[in-house]
Structure formats: C-alpha cells, structure tokens
C-alpha cells in the first residue's frame, strides 16, 4: 500500500495537520524544527504502533494535548491509530481492531534514519529487535507467537520474583510453554537471519563499492532452566530473548572494530536488505521513510541510496533542501 494522505491530531509538534503524497519520491522540505521527522514518525506509528525515535507512544503526544490520532488514507484501506489515557486503539476501514496482530504492518514501511547506526553499534538487543521486526514483516503468524512468548516470559519472571515462591508446578508449566513457543521462534529467526545475511552481504558490497564482506553471527541461548539461579537473578536466564546476535564487516564485529564509514555502510545495507526482503515477500515495495539521511552520506553512499529509492513505489524523504543530485520526477512538500 501507498499513502495518499496522512492526517494527525495532537501529534508531536502538530496540533493538527494533513499532507498529501504521490506515488514515487516525495521530498518533505523545511528548516530544522519544522516537524519533518514528525510526519515520518506518524507514518511509522500507524504502521508499527511505535515511533522509530520514541520508546513509548505517550511521548508522541503534542504539548498541551491529552491524546493523539494518526489517520492514513491509502489506496486500498484507511488506517487510524489513537492513543489516550495509556490505551491504544486501531481502526481498519472504520472498524475497530480487536487485536494488534490484525493490523500491525498492514501498511508496510522501512525507515532509513540516523538511528539505524544504533543497530550496528549497539549490543545484541538492538539486533534481536531488528530481526524480530523483519520476522514479523515477512511472516505475520510470528506476530502472535512473539506476543504470546512475551506474556509467558512476563508471567515466569513474576513467579521468579515472588516471595514466598508459588507452587513449583506453575514454574514447570511456564517453562514448558516458554520452550515450546521459544524454540519455534528461534527456528524462524535463524531462517530470517540466513536470508538477511545473504541479501545484506550483496547490498553491502554494492554500497561499499568494493568486495567488503558482511555477515551475521547468531548463537542461540540454552534452555536448561536453573530455578535457584533464576530466582537469585530475578528474571529468566534461558530463552529466545537472550540469543546472541552480532553483525560483522570483514569478519570482525561491526560494533567494535568497524570504522565510522563502515558502520554507516552497514546501517544502509541492513535497511536496504530489509526493503528488498519485504518487497519479495509481500509482492509490492514497502513505503520508504528516509529521515534526513542524505546530508550524512558521502557521494558514493548517497548515490547508492538514491538508486534504491528509484526501486520503491513510494518514498518520503525529509531534508532541509532538495539534493542537487536528485534525479527523476518528484513531489515536493515544503513546511
């Protein structure tokens, strides 16, 4: 799907706002602080129920407001997200969704932002989240599995923190459920990591302009439960949520040894690979959300990103001014 119109109320710096977009490239121009990034955040939020910047939806509420709403008019559906008093609600074509798995990712998007460097530079948790999101985009059945797994881990951790300890049978049942669901997710994540590694390696070499390797290390955590050790820790020490994931350039950890240029290349490559994998899986290109990334790239990397942009059905790009090397027809929105 593509976005024909995006409307917001009480969102970030906008008391209200409405913007129309066309197929192809859409430049969102304006000075710093004008709200360019907030428009992309709104598109991301109505797709994935979260911002690529904020960890909590309440952080997206405009100053002086108690709630926010985002409404995306697409060529096939209308999607609406609201947040009020700690509760999220989502509508598809005017019908309230009973469960987030029904609506998450109906509008497929791939963000390209400066925050992508955190995935490369950060620890395994950043990379697990990236692969989990890619897994959900390419296999919607895993969304409900991931939510179920999170609930089991929450209940199991509550048991480990309880004093005095509840019935040991409860712990054993939760552990069995955790292993059953977690092993399924581990298997699926390993498959996604393998496909991602192949695609990212290919794209990385193109962006780098030389045969520089990119690889993924995935080490699955054990499932040998030790009640005493876990009670002392106060949380689960086993499971899918503790798998080790790392990305490497030329066989060495990108977070520890890659240069800044190599890390930027890897960040572009992982998002480009995400775009290509999702496009292949769903049959149409996802909407690309590029947030002020051109100014941070050297000419070669900028050209590589522009080349990818041309393959997308719709791209929303924020920048203070239109790149001088931009090619092809484009729609311009100035704030």
Q: Is pLDDT above 90 for 290?
A: yes
Burial of 32 (0-12, 13-18, 19+ CB in 10 A): exposed
Read off the pLDDT of residues 224-282 as tens digits, 9 standing for 90 and up: 999 999 999 999 999 999 999 999 999 999 999 999 989 999 999 999 999 999 999 99
Residue 164's Cβ-count burial label (10 Å; 0-12, 13-18, 19+) is exposed
Q: What is the pLDDT of residues 303-333, one digit of tens each?
A: 777 777 677 889 999 998 887 766 667 899 9
Whole-angstrom distance, CA of residue 141 vs CA of residue 104: 11
Residue extents of the structural domains in the chain? 1-108+288-296+314-335, 113-283
Rounded average pLDDT over 291-301? 77
Cα–Cα dist 327/335, whole Å: 22
In eight-state DSSP terms, residue 139 is -
What's the pLDDT band for 157 if we cut at 50, 70, 90? very high
Q: Which CATH architecture has domain 1-108+288-296+314-335?
A: 3-Layer(aba) Sandwich (3.40)
The per-residue pLDDT for range 112-155, each reduced to its tens digit, is 998 999 999 999 999 999 999 999 999 988 999 999 999 999 99
The tens digit of pLDDT for each residue in 66-78 reads: 999 999 999 889 9
Same fold, 1-108+288-296+314-335 and 113-283: no
Q: What is the CATH number of domain 113-283?
A: 1.20.1050.90
How far is it, in rounded angstroms, from Cα 326 to Cα 323?
5
pTM of the model: 0.93
Identify whether the C-beta of residue 330 lies closer than 8 Å to the C-beta of residue 24. yes
């Amino acid at each position: 799907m593509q976005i024909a119109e995006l409307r917001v109320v009480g969102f970030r710096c906008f008391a209200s706002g409405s913007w129309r977009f066309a197929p192809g490239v859409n430049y969102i121009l304006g000075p710093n602080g004008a709200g360019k990034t907030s428009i992309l955040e709104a598109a991301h939020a109505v797709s994935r129920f979260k911002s690529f910047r904020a960890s909590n939806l309440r952080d997206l509420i405009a100053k002086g407001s108690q709630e926010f709403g985002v409404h995306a008019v697409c060529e096939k559906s209308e999607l609406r997200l609201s947040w009020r008093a700690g509760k999220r609600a989502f509508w598809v074509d005017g019908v309230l969704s009973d469960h987030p798995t029904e609506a998450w990712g109906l509008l497929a998007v791939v963000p390209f932002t400066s925050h992508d460097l955190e995935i490369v530079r950060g620890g395994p948790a950043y990379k697990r989240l990236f692969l989990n999101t890619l897994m959900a985009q390419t296999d919607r059945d895993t969304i409900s599995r991931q939510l179920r797994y999170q609930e089991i881990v929450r209940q199991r951790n509550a048991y480990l923190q309880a004093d005095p300890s509840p019935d040991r049978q409860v712990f054993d049942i939760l552990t069995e459920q955790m292993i059953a669901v977690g092993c399924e997710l581990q298997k699926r994540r390993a498959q996604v990591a393998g496909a991602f590694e192949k695609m990212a390696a290919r794209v990385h070499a193109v962006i780098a302009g030389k045969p520089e390797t990119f690889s993924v290390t995935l080490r699955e955590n054990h499932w040998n439960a030790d009640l005493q050790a876990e009670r002392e820790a106060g949380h689960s020490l086993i499971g899918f949520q503790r798998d080790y994931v790392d990305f490497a350039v030329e066989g060495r950890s990108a977070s520890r040894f890659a240069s800044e240029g190599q890390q930027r290349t890897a960040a572009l490559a992982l998002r480009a690979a995400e775009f290509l994998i999702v496009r292949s899986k769903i049959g149409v290109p996802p909407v690309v959300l590029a947030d002020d990334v051109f100014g941070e790239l050297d000419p070669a990397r900028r050209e590589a990103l522009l080349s990818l942009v041309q393959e997308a059905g719709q791209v929303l790009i924020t920048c203070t001014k239109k790149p001088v090397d931009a090619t092809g027809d484009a729609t311009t929105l100035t704030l």
